[in-house]
């Protein structure tokens, strides 16, 4: 037997392995009965969870879906292919960024929030601007993040520059903006 406190992620740690408990017991002290085959969790002498004991690499999770809050259970419906299909509807470069985000973590599910955030940027800005921001981000790195794409959108760096075609300086303007041009030297 041992005593444990339910963590914010509704799991307890037993010998480096993590076992789920119904989320209603977060921050509560529970009693844990450990055998060679089973880990049982009790609250006020009532069993609230039972798991087959895990062995092997430390940090493994044993999670029962019913122990999760409803909003966490919704994430179980998501997978990488669903994000890729959603991104393809926006554009091929958005899909490349989603693939890069999905590949950026060892466990794919840990990248789902970033993918969701990235794809929701199309609602706030527009699908065209998101695609343009993804093109810009991909020109900087092969594996852009949600934050880098969002920063491009916030700064407006993916908008085309508006230049007055009538002005003479617009015709001689170059991309470096540090050279003075021929008119400067004709005094």
Residues of the chain short of pLDDT 70, as ranges, are: 158-187
Q: How far apart, in Å, are the Cα atoms of 87 and each of 2, 39, 95, 98, 168?
A: 48, 42, 5, 7, 42
Q: What is the pLDDT of residue 113?
A: 85
Q: What is the pLDDT of residue 21?
A: 96
Q: What is the pLDDT of residue 176?
A: 56
């Amino acid at each position: 037997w041992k005593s444990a406190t339910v963590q914010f992620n509704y799991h307890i740690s037993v010998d480096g392995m993590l076992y789920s408990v119904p989320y209603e017991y977060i921050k509560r002290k529970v009693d844990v009965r450990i055998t060679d085959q089973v880990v049982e969790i009790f609250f006020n002498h009532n069993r609230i969870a039972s798991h087959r004991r895990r062995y092997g690499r430390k940090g493994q999770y044993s999670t029962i879906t019913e122990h999760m809050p409803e909003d966490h259970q919704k994430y179980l419906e998501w997978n990488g292919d669903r994000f890729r299909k959603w991104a393809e509807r926006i554009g091929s470069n958005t899909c490349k960024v989603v693939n890069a985000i999905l590949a950026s973590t060892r466990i794919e599910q840990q990248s789902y929030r970033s993918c969701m955030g990235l794809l929701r940027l199309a609602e706030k800005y527009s699908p065209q601007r998101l695609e343009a921001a993804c093109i810009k981000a991909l020109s900087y790195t092969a594996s852009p993040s949600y934050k880098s794409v969002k920063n491009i959108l916030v700064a407006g760096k993916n908008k085309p520059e508006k230049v007055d075609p009538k002005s003479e300086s617009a015709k001689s303007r170059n991309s470096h903006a540090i050279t003075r041009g021929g008119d400067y030297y004709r005094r």
